Amino acid sequence: MSFENFVNWTVSIDCGSTIGNYQGQIKSIDGINQTLTLKNAFHNGILIDQDSGNIVTIKAKDIIDLNLLSQPGSLFQLPKTIHKKSFHEQSQQQLKAAPIANNGSKSSISSGINPSLSSRSRSSKSWSDEATNENDLNEETTNRFNFDSSNLSSLKNSSILQSYTQIQDKYRCDQMILEHNNGPIDYEQIQLPLPTTKKFLTDEGLVVPGINIELRNRLYSSSEYYGYSLERRIESMGRSTTDMCLHLLGGTQRLLVKNRHQHPTIVVLACLTEVQGAYAICAGRILASRNIRIYLYIPPNSNSIQHHFIENELKLFRTTQGIITTNVSDLPRSPVDLILNGLDAGNNSDSVLFAKPWYRDIVQYCSHLQASVIGLDPPLDGGAIECKYSLVPLLPLVSMSSKNVGRLYLCDLGFGQNVFQHLQIRYASPFGAKSFVALHDN
């Protein structure tokens, strides 16, 4: 439908809150200058001054919405006389405009008119009665006025759209888009003085070499020389384990106040003779401080504790609401979210442990639950309690394999580089923003 077909139509135009609303009959349409001229025009319900001939010209860019009210020759005509009223008086009279039904085509408009409007009483001559309320102009009266189809092509050819389409590369929010002049990335940021027999890879592709037991003990001695005590190591391992547990539990959503009815439950198994037990007790204490239900199981008949660091961790754990038990029957049957295994250690032989009834009961208890088991620095064979995940401190051991210990994760103990340089190890942290990182067999 051409522009001339809309001449003498009665329309209502919304130009936003700043300019206001216009109503009137279309006098002419200028497709080149993108303007529309109304005669017998009203502005916000008040007739435009006679000096301008009741004519107003509106730019297309100012038009937010345009509704067709009636076609030429219909009974819906503009009032002959106008009585200016205040905006408050005009708003009291809400006579709805006649809707024009749209048949679904953008190029044709039906001629149906609401017949009730011809007999409607019009005591007020203000156009605020006709269509200034957006609630009155509902979907039934939304016949949009379209300019020439060349507008669409001009929009496609605009400089704004062209500059937008020039950006062809798309980046994620965590991708680096700036070029660097530092050469290729060094993925082997950790290098040992002697070549290793096994290497692991992180998710980023960083190479983490495996070490033997002897080098690990030498690193522990070097850390103590620089002031990293055993208690600091236990605390760092406990916090890394806590972060891992919170990650597996579903992050922060699981611990929201609105989810307090389903706070998680974690069973902690701890031996009282090895440092792995201290790791587990420390992690249990930190988790219990987050309002997580913690059940700490320690072997029975262990009244005499041989190591002071175990005794200190138990003393700190008793300051929480966690439950300590030596009886397997006191542990929850369901639901249990996670099991922290600090019971199996490298110095504990499976044959020796299996000779004890309480250990057989614990193995049976864990096998019946559907909860994931996290091994804390487990033995190389994984132990009798099958682990789905395993956390190891410092650097992984060369003999470790995911077939025995499950998915392997490395924990950050926070040692400074001097600890490694003391043993001629070039070290750069592979952890990034987390305190643990996944390792994969290379």
Contacts of 441 (CB under 8 A, 6+ apart): 200, 201, 401, 402
What residue type is 76 in one-letter code?
F
Which amino acid is located at 122 in the chain? R
Packed helices 275-288 and 230-249: angle between N→C axes, nearest 10 degrees = 50
Task: Give domain 3-70's CATH number out of 2.30.30.100, 2.60.120.680, 3.40.50.11540, 2.30.40.10.
Answer: 2.30.30.100
Q: Is 171 helix (H, G, I), strand (E, B) or coil?
A: coil
Place 140 in a pLDDT band, splitting at 50, 70 and 90: very low
Residue 148 confidence (pLDDT) above 60? no
Tell me the residue type at 286.
Answer: I
Of 8-12, 98-102, 169-173, 297-301, least confident by mean pLDDT is 98-102
DSSP one-letter code for 191: B
pLDDT digits (tens, 9 = 90+) for 392-412: 999 999 988 777 788 999 999
Instruction: Please state, in angstroms and as integers, the Cα–Cα distance from residue 214 to each residue in 22, 218, 219, 220, 397, following that order.
Output: 87, 6, 9, 10, 10
Domain residue spans of the chain: 3-70, 190-441
> Beta-carbon neighbour count of residue 148 at 10 Å?
14
Lowest mean pLDDT among 109-113, 230-234, 285-289: 109-113
Rg, Å, the chain Cα set: 39
Mean pLDDT on 36-42: 88
pLDDT, tens digit, for every residue of 195-244?
888 999 999 899 999 999 999 999 999 999 999 999 999 999 999 999 99
HEC readout, 94-149: CCCCCCCCCCCCCCCCCCCCCHHHCCCCCCCCCCHHHHCCCCCCCHHHCCCCCCCC
Query: Would you state the pLDDT for residue 303?
Result: 62
Per-residue model confidence as pLDDT tens digits over 334-373: 889 999 999 987 666 566 677 788 999 999 999 998 899 9
Q: Give the 3-state secondary structure of residue 316.
A: helix
Mean pLDDT score of the chain:
78
Share of the chain above pLDDT 90, in %: 39
Rounded CA separation 15/2 (Å): 23
Does the model's pTM come out above 0.75?
no
| Token reading at 186 | 């060094």
User: What CATH number belongs to 190-441?
Assistant: 3.40.50.10260
Report residue 408 as tokens.
């392997």
Under 8 Å CB-to-CB from 268, ≥6 apart: which residues?
A: 280, 281, 283, 284, 294, 295, 296, 297, 339, 340, 342
Question: What is the phi/psi pair of residue 280, to 5°?
Answer: -65, -40
Side chain identity at residue 185, one-letter code? I
Using the 8-state DSSP alphabet, how is residue 54 labeled?
Answer: T
Q: Is the pLDDT of residue 115 over 50?
A: no
What tokens appear for 321 in the block?
Answer: 């609401």
